[in-house]
Amino acid sequence: MPYEGIDDAARLRRLLDAVLFLGSELKVPTVLRRIVEAATELVGARYGALGVLDERREGLSEFITVGMPKPQVAAIGSLPRGHGILGLLIVDPRPLRLADLNEHPDRFGFPPNHPPMTSFLGVPILARGEVFGNLYLTEKQGGGDFTDDDEELISALAVAAGVAIENARLHARARELDVVGDRERIARDLHDTVIQRLFATGLLLQGAARMATTPELTSRLEEAVDDLDTTIRQIRSTIFALGVHRPGASLRGEVLSVVNEAAQTLGFEPRVRLEGPIDATVPDHAAEHILAVLREALSNVAKHAEASRVDVVLDVQDEVVLRVVDDGVGPGDEHVGGFGRQNMRVRAEGLGGSLAVEPAVGGGTLVEWRAPLPQV
């Protein structure tokens, strides 16, 4: 968009429009891209970018760009990690304005296929008092340097951006909690109401079977009791599947909780061994997969294995490894019994890992699920 000839009133209207839009948008990726687009328009920059800081606030985990065509972005390759001038705003989060970034002593250099850039304006974005990321703007259209007014406009936009980012993140968190709350409520209702009623019905039928006057009636009542037991086991499996990992919760504690719940269906307590820095190392998104795989594996043991012993091992070293070993009838056919094994494999492969289901030493089944840990 041409920049020359735009007066201050028009720039202020653009700033207001951008702030109003950011305040109404509730999706974080959309907010981030719109921040960069608004910033480049406000000061007439040819290129713009927003670098999102990683969890340790030592580098960049995301880098959203505006102004370069996708083929050029692809040709450049790996996105910046926060070295050189980009890193200055990470260690010293204050606005930075340069007439020629190529002359700065901390210049890191451009990778192959990167367009030439000279004028530079960088401004940090704060969310809840902490640096969320940085806005980087280069190549003032029409030549010249970025001005004091440019810096003030982008600093004002950065304040609104921080509020918008936090608003979008809180909205996403609220939706997540709504889902968690609904799943927990359903699981609670299934356990406290449906299962208890089925138990009560089963006891009544067992009592009736003892008073039955014919073998045929006794047999039919016993079959009904068996069907109720099967239904209860299936509902319990559903309850396990409804569980979710709460961000920030102890994975060790949640593993023990899942195993304790499974013991009610198995009829015995599995043995558990937890090794390594589990809570300190395993990220939340991986923890959710681990718990889902553990529930599925224990559910399969309860449904199919006819086991009298189960060992659960969660080992976190250079990678995370979950092993569930039983002494039952063996792994059987992968294509029989639904999509449980396929789902476990998909969860592993989605994290760059693998799943192995094979006969255990001495009989039974070994389920070994593994995935790499993110490098820090």
pLDDT digit string, tens, across residues 161-177? 887 777 777 666 666 65
The token duo for 46 is: 């040819």
pLDDT digit string, tens, across residues 59-91? 788 888 999 988 888 888 877 877 788 888 888
Q: Which residues pair with 42 in a beta bridge?
A: none
Kind and range of the H or E run holding 222: helix 215-242
Nearest CA to 325 out of 279, 252, 284, 270 is that of 270
Q: Is the pLDDT of residue 226 over 90?
A: no
pLDDT digit string, tens, across residues 310-338? 999 999 988 999 999 999 998 876 544 44
Q: Name every residue whose Cβ is closer than 8 Å to that of residue 360 and which is 6 or more positions away in sequence.
A: 325, 326, 327, 366
Q: Is the pLDDT of residue 296 over 70?
A: yes
- Could you tell me the CA-to-CA distances from 149 to 43, 98, 145, 327 in Å, in that order? 9, 14, 11, 73
Separation between Cα atoms, residue 139 and residue 103, nearest integer Å: 15
C-beta of residue 313 within 8 angstroms of C-beta of residue 334: no
The token duo for 167 is: 């608003």
CA dihedral 287, 288, 292, 295 (to 10 degrees): 60
Separation between Cα atoms, residue 77 and residue 141, nearest integer Å: 26
Q: Which has the higher per-residue pLDDT, 280 or 213?
A: 280
Domains and CATH numbers, the chain: 8-172 (3.30.450.40), 249-376 (3.30.565.10)
Band of residue 339 on the pLDDT scale cut at 50, 70, 90: low
Locus of tokens 């209860």 = 232
pLDDT digit string, tens, across residues 1-15? 345 545 666 666 777
Q: Which pLDDT score is estimated for 293?
A: 92
The token duo for 48 is: 């713009």
Total-model pTM: 0.49
Q: Which residues pair with 53 in a beta bridge?
A: 60
